[in-house]
Chain A
Amino acid sequence: MKDDVFAKVENQYVNYGTRARELQKQGQKLIGYICSFVPLEIITAAGCVPFRVRGDIREPITQGDTLMETIVCPFIRSCFDLSVKGKYDFLSGMVIPHGCDSMVRSYSTWNYSLNLPYFHFVNTPSVVKESSFEFFEEELKTYKKSLERFTGRTVTDADLAKAIRLHNENRNKARALYDFKKSNPPMISGVELAKVLTVGSSLPVTESNALFDEVIAAVSRRKEPPLKMGPRILVDGPCVDNIELMKIVEDSGASVVADTTCNGTRDALPRTDEGGDPIKALARRYLDKINCPKTYRDNKAGTFEGDAEARFGDIGAYAREFKADGAILYVYKFCDPFGFEVPARKAYYESIKVPLLHIEDLYSAGTIGQLKTRIQAFLEMIG
């Protein structure tokens, strides 16, 4: 029997944004984002609802490409295409950070083409150094002010502290969900968790918290794992917001036990420190605790191994914690931050002795057949 909560998740995953549309009709302001570097706590503290804008690999990019060049990465082009086609017309605004070049260079296209009441660009530093934090704190204050102007209400430190607490609760619950993957076979499949997290990112944080609680309760009641015993795979990459990749892995007899993806652990796990200056804590959380290839990290050790540990240590930590037998480095064509790093990442995987399959893909359902061949051959190899 299918758990009710999973039927609900499935419904909201397929009809992504239905709850957001309802909220908009009730007068709520929804603010879209496409990258892990957007501090959601500030949106929540301003009384708005953060909403993760998704792409769709089954929807051909058409209208979007009349406004944006194809050198922009296909994930962003798909998100943009759906936006100009009106899928997210319930949004009151969008926040785009300095994530990758594709985001910076396409910001004005987003802004002018969608013509939403609120648009803001967060200048996220690309280097993690002490001076970057000072800069980023000021940048976050500007971002907060722009939301205050838009909503006409002041965001106090108490508002921020409350939002931080709510989002931290969300991360604790996400952590509990990930912990279900530690058993062998995992008690929650990669596809299930990806759908839950995706739906969670389309809801107000309080509703997302309630949903995660329901899922945790449902999974705790399970007697049998949803998948058979098979190779345990870590998915490493940017925003993989369509479950097809994980579905191929799990349909081929393996299970996705961990990830580093934006809509996975990168968004869902790092917590913000509570108790101190909320802006300082948010700057720390978003700049230091989110590990994305877009940011350069100081090589404090001064060695090749030290550099690799600073940049990729989280991969090794997840691989050990979730006992991964192999990893898939999944990168979109024209994804600069990940693309540039591929050789160094490969070298890191070799050093931690985790077999790796590197896939460069388009953001399109047309490549599913070829993905299958590669993934099945990889599983045959490590299995």
Chain B
Amino acid sequence: MQCVLGIDMGSSCTKGVLMAGTEVLAQVDSLSGGDFKLTADRIREELLARAHVSARSISHTVATGFGSKSVSYADSMVTDISCHAKGVIHLCPTVRTAVDAGDLYSKAFRMDEKGNLQNFLLSGKCAGGSARILKVVAKVLQLNVEELGDLALKSTKKVEFNTGCAVFAESEAVSRIAEGVSKEDLLAGIHRALAAQLNALAVRLGIEKDYALVGGGARNAGLVKALEAVSGFLIVVPSHPHMTAALGAALIAAEAGRP
């Protein structure tokens, strides 16, 4: 069986998708850690083991993401923006605009019905507008980052959170706690602030329906709801939203393998 592999080495998590034709044989994600090369090798081994295929059956591998250069077995490299676009269209063909809340930076992009990238915008060079803010605040509140979204949804009182910068966020969060704000309300405020920054990127590109949230941040229900509130659009979330770039990479690998 001929397979293709897409691997997305993010600054925080690495995602891999093994496909045959249009069928996903296996998908794996894990923390990128301190040794990208080792992580990339481990992801491939695990994908092969899960799908019960050998490395020789992989006809083409596309690497993407911040650490794509560390994937020694990649045949080609494509940026995660193009990969996301391909992956999103494969899962949700009606989407034309998407935002991705990443750990390093966030991005907005527009695509056509074939998943060709039309335009894109990345958040600034610092941590402003990146989903890193959620990790920073999780640490302050001594919570797991996975719990934040659901807690934010339990908010009863609107608290303004003004900082979009993940570095300053910590001090603002501490000030709010000192004012006696509940963690649910505080978290709702932070999610609104992040959603507003993500949406601002999309607005600058011009939003065309359907509008999707992808990447790890899309698994956070609080963020999805906050983005719906600030944008006024219904937000589409693909299944396994954190895997879309890896899936897109696999799809591009499949195209590359075709004669």
Q: Are B78 and A374 in contact (CB-based, < 8 A)?
A: no
Q: How many chain B residues touch the partner (CB < 8 A)?
A: 15
Asked if A377 CB lies within 8 Å of chain B CBs, one says: yes
Q: Who on chain B is nearest to A378 by CB?
A: B120
Asked if A369 CB lies within 8 Å of chain B CBs, one says: yes
Asked if A317 CB lies within 8 Å of chain B CBs, one says: no
Q: Are B82 and A374 in contact (CB-based, < 8 A)?
A: no
Q: Who on chain B is nearest to A374 by CB?
A: B122
**Closest approach, in angstroms, between the C-beta of A368 and any C-beta of chain B?**
11
Q: Interface code B102-120, partner A: CB below 8 Å = 1, 0 otherwise?
A: 0001000000000011111
From 33 to 85 in chain B, residues with beta carbon under 8 angstroms from any chain A beta carbon are 66, 78-82
Q: Interface code A360-383, partner B: CB below 8 Å = 1, 0 otherwise?
A: 111000010110011011101100
**Closest approach, in angstroms, between the C-beta of B203 and any C-beta of chain A?**
14
Q: Which residues of A have CB within 8 Å of B82?
A: 377, 380-381
In whole angstroms, what is the CA distance A360 to B121 when docked?
11
Q: Interface code B229-257, partner A: CB below 8 Å = 1, 0 otherwise?
A: 00000000000000000000000000000
Given A381-B119, A381-B120, answer yes or no on A373-B125 (Cβ-Cβ < 8 Å): no
Q: Are B66 and A380 in contact (CB-based, < 8 A)?
A: no
**Closest approach, in angstroms, between the C-beta of B87 and any C-beta of chain A?**
14
Q: Are B79 and A370 in contact (CB-based, < 8 A)?
A: no
Of the candidates A360, A361, A367, A373, which one forms a contact with B79 in the assembled complex, judged by CB atoms under 8 Å apart?
A373
Of the candidates B118, B119, B125, which one forms a contact with A367 in the assembled complex, judged by CB atoms under 8 Å apart?
B125
Q: Are A361 and B125 in contact (CB-based, < 8 A)?
A: yes
Q: Which residues of B have CB within 8 Å of A361?
A: 125
Given A362-B125, A377-B79, A377-B82, answer yes or no on A369-B117 (Cβ-Cβ < 8 Å): no
Q: Are B79 and A380 in contact (CB-based, < 8 A)?
A: yes
Between A362, A374, A380, the greatest number of chain B beta carbons within 10 A of the residue's beta carbon is seen for A380
From 296 to 353 in chain A, residues with beta carbon under 8 angstroms from any chain B beta carbon are none
Q: Are A381 and B66 in contact (CB-based, < 8 A)?
A: no
**Closest approach, in angstroms, between the C-beta of B128 and any C-beta of chain A?**
12
Q: Are B78 and A380 in contact (CB-based, < 8 A)?
A: yes
In whole angstroms, what is the CA distance A362 to B117 when docked?
26
Q: Which residues of B have CB within 8 Å of A367?
A: 125
Q: Who on chain B is nearest to A370 by CB?
A: B125
Q: Are A380 and B125 in contact (CB-based, < 8 A)?
A: no
Of the candidates B78, B81, B105, B116, which one forms a contact with A370 in the assembled complex, judged by CB atoms under 8 Å apart?
B105
Binding site for A on B (CB under 8 A): 66, 78-82, 105, 116-120, 122, 124-125
The 10 closest A-B pairs by CB, nearest first: A377-B81, A377-B79, A381-B117, A380-B82, A376-B79, A367-B125, A373-B79, A377-B120, A370-B125, A374-B122
Q: Give 23 pairs: A residue, B residue, CB < 8 Å, sorted on A.
A: A360-B124, A360-B125, A362-B125, A367-B125, A369-B66, A370-B105, A370-B122, A373-B66, A373-B79, A373-B80, A374-B122, A376-B79, A377-B79, A377-B81, A377-B120, A380-B78, A380-B79, A380-B81, A380-B82, A380-B117, A381-B82, A381-B117, A381-B120
